Amino acid sequence: MRFFKPFFLSFALGLLLPFSVFAQRNDGAVIPGDFADPSIIRVKNTYYAVGTSSEWAPHFPIYKSTNLKNWQQVGYAFDKTPAWTSGSFWAPEYYKIGNTYYLYYTARRKSDNTSYIGVATSRYPDKGFVNHGVLIPFGKEAIDAFIFNDNGQLYITFKAYGLDNRPIEILGYKLSANGLKLEGEPFSLLKDEPRIGMEGQSILKKDGYYYLFYSAGNCCGTGCSYNIRVARAKNFAGPYEVYANNPILSENEKWKCMGHGTFVTGTDGAEYYLHHAYNRESTVYTGRQGLMSQLTWPQNHGWPVFTTQKLAGGIVPNITDNFNTASIAKYWAWDFRNSTPKIKQQAGTLHLSGSTKAGNQTGIVLAARSFSGSFDMAVTVANNNTALKGLAYYGDANAALGIGTQNNKVIVWQVADNKFANLAEASIKNTSPVEVKFEVAEGKDIRFFYRQGKTAWTELKTAEPAKLSSLPQWDRSPRGGLHFKGAANQEAAFKAFSVVNK
C-alpha cells in the first residue's frame, strides 16, 4: 500500500496533540477513548504505553507519561503498514533487551488472512520501529504475545486457538537471546478447560511462584463479559493452579469488562496494571479505555489483590485545531483497508484528498478517537466544488454518516447496507465558507447543523433518525472526523476543527 509522502513526513516532524480547555469528567480512565490491550514499559522515570489500533492507521498508537496519570500521544509504532499484514493490529507488547526496544504484535497475515504474531525493533520506545516479519505462525490463530525472562532464559507466551478442536491454550516457546527467533517446541501453560475464553496473559514471579494473570470471557461489544483471573505454579511451564476466588478484577459501578493489560513497577515501588475497560454509560461509543489498577499481596493467603483505579485520570480534553502548524496532529487516523488519503496542512488549512478501495461508498475519513459518548464536532469547509466534504461519524466503510457541502447544497448522508443515501439537504450560498457541525448524545441521537458567516446555526433535520447503532464495530469504537468523497483531481479544504465533549 502506498501513502502520500508529505503526510508521513509531517508525522515525523509532528507536535503533540493540540488539546485546548478541559471538559467532561471521565470517571477514571488515564488514557481515555479506544485504547484496548495496552502494554506499558518504564524507561527510567518515564512511562510509555502502546495499544491496539485494529483497522486504523497509522498502527499502534504510543503514549508517554511521567506520573502514570497524565498521558500524551507521541506517535505510532508503524507509520507504514508492514508488508506481511492485511489488518487487525491487536495487542502490541513492549519488551527491552539491552538498548533495543521490542514490539511483539498481532496482525492478520496477508497470504491467508490468519492472525499471527510479528516482531519489530527500535532504539527508541516511541518511534523508529523496524518490522522483522512473522515470528509465530501457529495453528489457526496465535495472538496476544507476552515476554518473560526466567533467570536469563527468555520465553514468549501467546494464546493459541483452533488446535484440533482442543480448548484455547496459553502456549509458550523459548525465545532466543536476541528476541527474534523461537527455540525448541511449544509447551502448554494453561488450558481453557471451562471453555469460557482465555487470552491477554501477563506473568509475574513472587515468593517462588509464577503468577499467570489472564483475561476470561467475551472481550468486546455490548455483550462483553471480560474479567481478570489468575493461576500460579512452582515451575514456569506449570502445572498451574487456578485461584478458587477468581475473578480478581471484574467491574464496578462505572466500568465493566475489564481485561488485557500488563504490569509496571512505578517510581514509588508499587506494582501497577494498565488494562482496558468499557465505560458503562458510553460503552461501545468510546471503546475500551485505558485504566490503571494497583496490585497488592496480602500476607494472609498469598494470592494477589487488585485495587481498581488506584491511579485515575479525572477529565477528558476538548480539541481545537486551527491547522496552523507544519504537520498534522498525532490523533488523526484513517481506515487503511478502504482508503489511501493524501493530506497537506499549511497556513491554517488542511487539504484532504486521495483514493478509495473499489466498493467504498463512504469515501475518505480522517478521524479522531472519541473521548466521550456525547460531544459536538464542527469544522469549516473552505472550498467549493462537486465533491462532498465535511464531517463524518465513521465505524467502517459500510457504516458511516455525516454532513457536508457539495456545490451549492449542504447534505446529511448515511452509508448502510452498501448504499449511500441522502437523508436531508438544503441550498446554500456557494460564494463563502460553510461551517458544519453534528451533536452526538451517548450513541442514542445525532443532530446536524450548518451556518455561513456569523449567522445562527441552522439545524438540518432528517425525515427519519440517522441510525447510530450500526456504527460501532465489534473490536473498535466509531470516530468522528473530516470527510472527503470526490474525484482524484479534487480535494477538500478545511479550517477550524473542534470537538467539545459533554
- Residues serving a catalytic function are 37, 199
* Cα 36 to chain centroid, rounded: 6
Cβ 29 vs Cβ 313: under 8 Å: yes
Cβ 466 vs Cβ 446: under 8 Å: yes
Grid coordinates of 252: 464496578
As a whole number of Å, the end-to-end CA separation of the chain is: 38
The 8-class DSSP code of residue 165 comes to T
Q: Tell me how far apart the alpha carbons of residues 180 and 187 are, in angstroms, rounded to a whole number.
A: 18
Q: Tell me how far apart the alpha carbons of residues 392 and 172 are, in angstroms, rounded to a whole number.
A: 43
Picking from 149, 86, 154, 148, the residue whose alpha carbon sits closest to that of residue 118 is 86
DSSP E strand boundaries for 407-462? 409-416, 419-427, 434-441, 445-451, 458-459
Pairing of strands 445-451, 388-396: unpaired
Q: Which one-letter amino acid corresponds to residue 114?
A: T
Q: Tell me how far apart the alpha carbons of residues 434 and 290 are, in angstroms, rounded to a whole number.
A: 36
* Cα 419 to chain centroid, rounded: 27
* Cα 431 to chain centroid, rounded: 39
H or E element that contains 9: helix 5-12
Cβ 357 vs Cβ 338: under 8 Å: yes
Cα dihedral value 104, 108, 109, 112, nearest 10: 150
